[in-house]
A and B are shown apart, each in its own frame.
Chain A
Amino acid sequence: MAGPRITVVGASLAGLRTAEALRTALPQAQLTLIGDEPHAPYNRPPLSKDVMESFAGGDADETEAFGKLLLRSKLTPEDVSTRLGVAATGIEKAGVRLADGSLVRSDWVIAATGIRPRRLPLPGNEDIRHVLRGFDDARALAPMLQPGARLAVIGAGFIGCEIAATARKLGLHVTIVEPGPQPMMRALGPRVAAAMATLHRRHGVTLLTGRSVEAYQPGRVILDNGKEIEADVIVEALGSLPNTEWLTGSGADLSDGVLVDDTMRAIGAPNLLAVGDIARFANPLFDDVPRRVEHWCIPGFTAKRAAQTIAALEAGDTPEPGFSPLPSFWSDQYGMRVQAFGAPALAETQTVVEGDLSQIGEAPVIVEYARNGALTGVIGLGAPPALIAKHRARLMAALTPKETV
């Protein structure tokens, strides 16, 4: 008997990992993977870090660089039928509608369409304005990052800060404009964010916080206080928008990504699941508020969970309740690794438990994050892995009991 027809939309980390997990959990399933990019699934984090550096520095040719980014997979063309370079435009009772008009008949649909960068709704400077999400964005930006060029980064989140650090290494003049009081403030909290601001300034970045962009003029960024920044290249790194337009009318709650339950099933659309950056789910390690989590580790966790869910339902079973993965993320800036576990963003207090924030970038620092006196996260700044592992264990011990409540 033929197995269920399962269509995974979005051929990146989450989509690929889901197809792999489905192949293992449901060997009979007929799998289709659809992606709008022309590229096979690849890894994004290096695009703002080492790959951007070697690209811009001219020491890597594109094919070679892309080869290193490609995600390794055991899947063969017999395992999954992959259609690249074609977007899903809608979801219907019978399946997924594609941009070329065809319909992929599906019993289950898995949304893995991720996010796209938000852009400033301002005209001007189109020829020098960039964003960074995909390989093609990186390919367009890299040749602009020439030594001596003036780069304006709008938005001091992780991607903006990583580009700034990479550009400094390449010898550009870098200005960051950030509306908030500190860079990466939401993710790192005020004290660590302030230390990161010092690190950027120490490396020669002009960091303008509490400032927003009022207008673009040719080769210039005009700020809300009237200040003008001259720029040869501009990168807008202002956060993201979930790619959910194709799910309009599916019944799912699309207010911020796709709201899913603890089995990755969309609430309101029983045969739709969501994984990766667009999935909005509650994590009982912390509380019952559903959130999207834009970290590299989430696609792996949610992919396995989604495959288990479909396998259980296809077998007539109820999926096991409970889903509480430990989030983690990292960032590399000026050769310093920021490594986080848990949800530092939820904390209201930060305690330096090893090292000293004034020594950031020079000596290891470990910071614990707590809410209502309970640990929610830990961050290591330039800390050796063994030291971080020790503190991660402490965090795990603090988080585990809540899981059973």
Chain B
Amino acid sequence: MKVHVNMDICLLHGQCVIAAPEIFSFDDNGDLHWVEVIDDSQVADAEAASDACPEQAIILG
């Protein structure tokens, strides 16, 4: 599965980092990073992160 964050609408709530720390993280500058291709074992975490994002910025596909 592919993970993408639409940075035009992401407001850096960081809820994704809490829900799925293995996929989403902040660097020291506060920029958001994510694993772009995840395996099946991480899909549930990615979906939880997507549901937790108040801006609906996370696109899974």
Contacts and interface: CB of A to CB of B under 8 A. Distances in A.
B54 A330 contact: yes
Contacts of B26: 385-386, 389
A45 B27 contact: no
Contacts, number: 38
Chain A: number of interface residues, binned into ranges: 20 to 34
Interface string A210-245: 000000000000000000000000000000000000
29 contacts: A17-B51, A43-B54, A43-B56, A45-B54, A71-B56, A72-B56, A296-B54, A297-B52, A300-B51, A300-B52, A328-B18, A330-B13, A332-B11, A337-B11, A339-B13, A384-B30, A385-B12, A385-B14, A385-B26, A385-B30, A385-B32, A386-B26, A386-B28, A386-B30, A387-B30, A389-B17, A389-B18, A389-B26, A392-B18
A387 B51 CA distance: 23
Contacts of B27: 386
A388 B30 CA distance: 10
A385 B17 contact: yes
Contacts of B51: 17, 300
Interface in A5-48: 17, 43, 45
Interface of B: 11-15, 17-18, 26-28, 30, 32, 51-52, 54, 56
A18 B29 CA distance: 37
Given A43-B54, A385-B32, 18 more contacts: A45-B54, A296-B54, A297-B15, A297-B52, A328-B18, A330-B54, A337-B11, A339-B13, A385-B12, A385-B14, A385-B26, A386-B26, A386-B27, A387-B30, A388-B14, A389-B14, A389-B17, A392-B18
A288 B45 CA distance: 30
Main SS class of interface, B: loop
B21 to A, nearest CB: 9
A328 B15 contact: yes
A105 B27 CA distance: 52
B57 to A, nearest CB: 11
A45 B55 CA distance: 9
B10 to A, nearest CB: 10
A276 B12 CA distance: 24
Contacts of A72: 56
Contacts of A296: 54
A44 to B, nearest CB: 10
Interface string A357-388: 00000000000000000000000000011111
A17 B27 CA distance: 31
Nearest to B30: A384
B4 to A, nearest CB: 14
A1 to B, nearest CB: 28
A304 B11 CA distance: 25
Contacts of B15: 297, 328
A17 B54 CA distance: 13
Contacts of B14: 339, 385, 388-389
Contacts of B13: 330, 339, 385
Interface string A311-338: 0000000000000000010101000010
Nearest to A74: B47
A384 B31 CA distance: 9
B34 to A, nearest CB: 13
A392 B15 CA distance: 11
Contacts of B12: 385
Contacts of A385: 12-14, 17, 26, 30, 32
A68 B18 CA distance: 24
Contacts of A392: 18
Nearest to A388: B14
A332 B13 CA distance: 11
Contacts of A339: 13-14
**Closest 8 CB pairs between A and B?**
A384-B30, A386-B26, A385-B14, A385-B12, A386-B30, A385-B26, A72-B56, A385-B30
A103 B51 CA distance: 32
Contacts of B30: 384-387
A196 B52 CA distance: 27
A59 to B, nearest CB: 16
A384 B13 CA distance: 10
A159 B30 CA distance: 28
